[in-house]
C-alpha cells in the first residue's frame, strides 16, 4: 500500500482516466473528509525521507478521505514524486501486482478514491502538464484513509487528489529535475494590450496592462500547508470598486467593511472554497475572511478582467476590513500593489470544516465558454447580460440549501410574449403578463419542476409578496440559441416579473439585482 507524498513537492496537472467507471450521481458528489487521525513521532530509523517525503508529527491532526474529487475528461490533480523501487520511499511492493518498479518505468499510485478499490489496477491513465502528456500504469494506492503507523512508514495520509508518480513520469513531462520539488509551474504567457480610454480602474493602485509586456499565467497555486505563505493585496468588492462585477461565489457585491477575499486560481480550486472562511495572519494578528471570488491567474488584459494583468499564483486579494483587522497602517494599505504588498500566512479553514457546514455549500458543476451572439440575438431588455466571446461561465446543478428564510438575489424578467424571458414558461407552456407576480428559480431550487405552479413568499424592503413559480432560470447551460445567448443563471436567483418588484415597493431605479429572502408559501 502506497504511503503519502509530500504536498510541498508537487505539480498541478490534468488527468485523463483510461477507464471512467463513475456514474453520474458520483460526479455530482463533493468529496468530504471522512475523519482525522493524530500523528505520532516515528521511531528511530523509521520514515523514509527520500524525495522530501513528510513524516508524521506528534499530536498533529491529519485529515482522512475515503473519496476523491469527481473524475472528468480532464481531472485536476497534484503530481508528487515517488520511488517504487525496492528500498525506495514507496515502501513495500506495489499493491496491484505485488512487484517493485524501476524509477525508469512510468508508473503511478492514485489517491484512495481514484484508486477505486483496485478498479484501475494495471490500467493506464494519461497525465498532462507542462505542454506534454505521458501514459502511466496504475500500480498502487496512495492511501488517503490511514497513515502515521508502521504500515505507512509513519507518513501522513495521502491527500485525496494525488497522482504519486515515478521519476520516469516527471522526465516524460519535461519537468526539470530541480523543479520537481518546487511546486506550481507557470502554464503560459499572454501579451498585454493598452487599455481603451476609461478602462482599467486604478483604485487601490491596481496595475493596468502595458502594451506588449508579457505576463505569466498559472493554473495552479503553491501547495496548501498548515501555514501557507501568500501575498496580501487590496481590493474593493463594492459596486463600482476595482473588483469589477459581482463576486463569482454568490453573485453579490460586498462592503469594504466586510472581511472578504479573492484567491488565486489554484487556491480558489474551481469554487471549492467558495463562501468558506480562511484565517489570515500577519503583523502578529489574525482575521477570518470569507472567500467570495477568484483572482484569475489564467487570463487578463481584456475587457472581462478590466485590462488588468493575470493574478500571480500566490495572492489573497482582500477587502479593507481584512487589512484593518490585521492592524496594517493605512499608508501601507494604500500602497498595496504587488511590489508593496504584505506577506501573510493562511490557514485554509475549509480543510477542517465540519461535514454539515461543507454540505451547505453548493459547488460548481463545470463551466462553459461564451460565444458572441449572432446579429439580432440576445434580448437586452431589463439590462439582461449577453454572452461574451471566450469568457468562461460557471455552471451549477444545485442551489444553496432552502431554509425558512432563504437568501437570494432578485432579478428582473419579462415573461410576456416577446420579452427577454424567451419562449413560453416551462411549467405551463404559457406567457405571463408583466402585471402578474410570477418567477423563475435557479435550477437547484426549481428542483426538476417540483415547485412548478406553487407559490413562494418573497421578502425585501420591509414588504412581502407571493409569486407563482412558472419557469426555470437555467444554471446548467447558456450561451446558445435556446437560452437567447445569455449566460447560465447563477445558482441563487429568483427571476421575477415587474409585478413582484412593484409589490415590494422597490424604486424603479434600483431594479436589477436586489438581495431578498424567500420561502415556500
Segments making up each domain of the chain, as ranges: 10-179, 188-193+204-359, 366-520
Q: Is 480 exposed, middle or buried (0-12, 13-18, 19+ CB in 10 A)?
A: middle
Structural fold of domain 10-179: Barwin-like endoglucanases (2.40.40)
Task: Select 366-520's CATH number: 2.60.40.1190, 2.40.40.10, 1.10.3720.10, 1.20.120.720.
Answer: 2.40.40.10
Q: What's the CA dihedral at 234, 237, 242, 245 to 10 degrees? A: 150
| More confident call, 12 vs 247 | 247
Please check whether residue 472 is in contact with residue 441, taking contact to mean a CB–CB distance below 8 angstroms.
yes
Nearest to 31 by CA among 490, 392, 350, 475: 350
- Mean pLDDT confidence for 16-25: 32
pLDDT higher than threshold 70 for residue 488: yes
Q: Residue 441: its pLDDT value, please?
A: 96
pLDDT higher than threshold 60 for residue 85: yes
Among 49-53, 264-268, 369-373, which stretch is predicted with the lowest mean pLDDT?
A: 49-53
Average model confidence (pLDDT) across the chain = 80
Please check whether residue 236 is in contact with residue 320, taking contact to mean a CB–CB distance below 8 angstroms.
yes
Q: Residue 183: its pLDDT value, please?
A: 56
Q: CA 485, CA 368: separation in Å to the nearest integer? A: 12
Please check whether residue 117 is in contact with residue 100, taking contact to mean a CB–CB distance below 8 angstroms.
no
Please list, in sequence order, all residues whose beta carbon lies within 8 angstroms of the beta carbon of residue 449, skipping any fewer than 6 positions away. Answer: 426, 427, 472
- Mean pLDDT confidence for 182-208: 75
Q: Taking the CB of residue 156, how many other CB atoms lie within 10 A of it?
A: 25
Q: CA 90, CA 166: separation in Å to the nearest integer? A: 10
Fold agreement (10-179, 188-193+204-359): yes
131-146: string of b/e by CB count within 10 Å (b at 16+)? eeebebbbbbbbbbbb
Q: State what percent of residues in the chain have pLDDT above 70.
A: 81
Nearest to 236 by CA among 254, 215, 217: 254
Among 163-172, 219-228, 336-345, 380-389, which stretch is predicted with the lowest mean pLDDT?
A: 336-345
Q: Residue 342: its pLDDT value, please?
A: 52
- Mean pLDDT confidence for 251-256: 91
- Mean pLDDT confidence for 402-423: 84
Q: Residue 303: its pLDDT value, please?
A: 80
Nearest to 510 by CA among 501, 520, 519, 500: 501
Grid cell, residue 406, equals 432563504
pLDDT higher than threshold 50 for residue 323: yes
CATH superfamily assigned to domain 188-193+204-359:
RlpA-like domain (2.40.40.10)
399: phi then psi, degrees, rounded to nearest 5: -135, 165
Q: What is the DSSP letter of 421?
A: T
**Strands 132-142 vs 124-129: parallel, antiparallel or unpaired:** antiparallel
Please check whether residue 328 is in contact with residue 282, taking contact to mean a CB–CB distance below 8 angstroms.
yes
pLDDT higher than threshold 90 for residue 47: no
pLDDT higher than threshold 80 for residue 202: no
Amino acid at each position: 500500500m502506497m504511503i503519502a507524498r509530500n504536498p510541498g513537492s508537487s505539480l498541478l496537472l490534468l488527468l485523463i482516466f483510461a477507464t471512467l467507471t463513475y456514474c453520474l450521481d458520483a460526479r455530482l458528489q463533493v468529496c468530504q473528509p471522512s475523519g482525522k487521525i493524530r500523528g505520532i513521532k516515528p521511531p528511530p530509523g523509521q520514515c523514509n525521507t527520500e524525495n522530501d517525503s513528510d513524516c508524521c508529527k506528534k499530536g498533529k491532526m491529519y485529515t482522512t478521505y475515503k473519496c476523491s474529487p469527481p473524475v472528468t475528461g480532464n481531472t485536476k490533480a497534484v503530481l508528487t514524486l515517488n520511488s517504487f523501487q525496492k528500498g525506495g520511499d514507496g515502501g513495500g511492493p506495489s499493491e496491484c501486482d505485488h512487484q517493485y518498479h524501476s524509477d525508469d518505468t512510468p508508473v503511478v499510485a492514485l489517491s484512495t478514491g481514484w484508486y477505486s478499490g483496485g478498479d484501475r489496477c494495471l490500467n493506464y491513465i494519461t497525465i498532462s502538464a507542462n505542454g506534454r502528456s505521458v501514459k502511466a500504469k496504475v500500480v498502487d494506492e496512495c492511501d488517503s484513509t490511514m497513515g502515521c503507523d508502521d504500515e505507512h512508514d509513519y507518513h501522513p495520509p495521502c491527500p485525496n487528489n494525488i497522482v504519486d508518480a515515478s521519476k520516469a513520469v516527471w522526465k516524460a513531462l519535461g519537468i526539470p529535475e530541480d523543479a520537481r520539488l518546487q511546486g506550481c509551474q507557470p502554464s503560459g504567457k499572454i501579451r498585454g494590450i493598452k487599455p481603451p480610454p476609461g478602462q482599467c480602474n486604478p483604485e487601490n493602485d491596481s496595475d493596468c496592462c502595458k502594451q506588449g509586456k508579457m505576463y505569466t499565467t498559472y493554473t495552479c497555486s503553491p501547495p496548501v500547508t498548515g501555514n501557507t505563505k501568500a501575498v496580501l493585496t487590496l481590493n474593493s468588492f463594492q459596486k463600482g470598486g476595482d473588483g469589477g462585477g459581482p463576486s463569482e461565489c454568490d453573485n453579490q457585491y460586498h462592503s469594504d467593511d466586510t472581511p472578504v477575499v479573492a484567491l488565486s486560481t489554484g487556491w480558489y480550486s474551481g469554487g471549492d472554497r467558495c463562501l468558506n472562511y480562511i484565517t489570515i495572519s500577519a503583523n502578529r494578528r489574525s482575521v477570518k475572511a470569507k472567500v467570495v471570488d477568484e483572482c484569475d491567474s489564467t487570463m487578463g488584459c481584456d475587457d472581462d478582467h478590466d485590462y488588468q494583468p493575470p493574478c500571480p499564483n500566490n495572492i489573497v486579494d482582500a477587502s479593507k476590513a481584512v487589512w484593518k483587522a490585521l492592524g496594517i497602517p493605512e499608508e501601507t494599505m494604500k500602497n498595496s500593489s504587488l511590489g508593496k504588498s504584505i506577506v501573510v500566512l493562511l490557514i485554509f479553514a475549509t480543510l477542517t470544516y465540519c461535514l454539515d457546514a461543507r454540505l451547505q455549500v453548493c459547488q460548481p458543476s463545470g463551466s462553459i465558454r461564451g460565444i458572441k451572439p449572432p446579429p439580432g440575438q440576445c434580448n437586452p431588455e431589463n439590462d439582461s447580460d449577453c454572452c461574451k466571446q471566450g469568457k468562461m461561465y460557471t455552471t451549477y446543478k444545485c442551489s444553496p440549501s432552502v431554509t425558512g428564510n432563504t437568501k437570494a438575489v432578485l432579478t428582473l424578467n419579462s415573461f410576456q410574449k416577446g420579452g427577454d424571458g424567451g419562449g413560453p414558461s416551462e411549467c405551463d407552456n404559457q406567457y405571463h403578463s408583466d402585471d402578474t407576480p410570477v418567477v423563475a428559480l435557479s435550477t437547484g431550487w426549481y428542483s426538476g419542476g417540483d415547485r412548478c405552479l406553487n407559490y413562494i413568499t418573497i421578502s425585501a424592503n420591509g414588504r412581502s409578496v407571493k409569486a407563482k413559480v412558472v419557469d426555470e432560470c437555467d444554471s446548467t447551460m447558456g450561451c446558445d440559441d435556446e437560452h437567447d445567448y445569455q449566460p447560465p443563471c447563477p445558482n441563487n436567483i429568483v427571476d421575477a416579473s415587474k409585478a413582484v418588484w412593484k409589490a415590494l415597493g422597490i424604486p424603479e431605479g434600483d431594479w436589477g439585482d436586489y438581495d431578498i429572502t424567500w420561502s415556500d408559501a
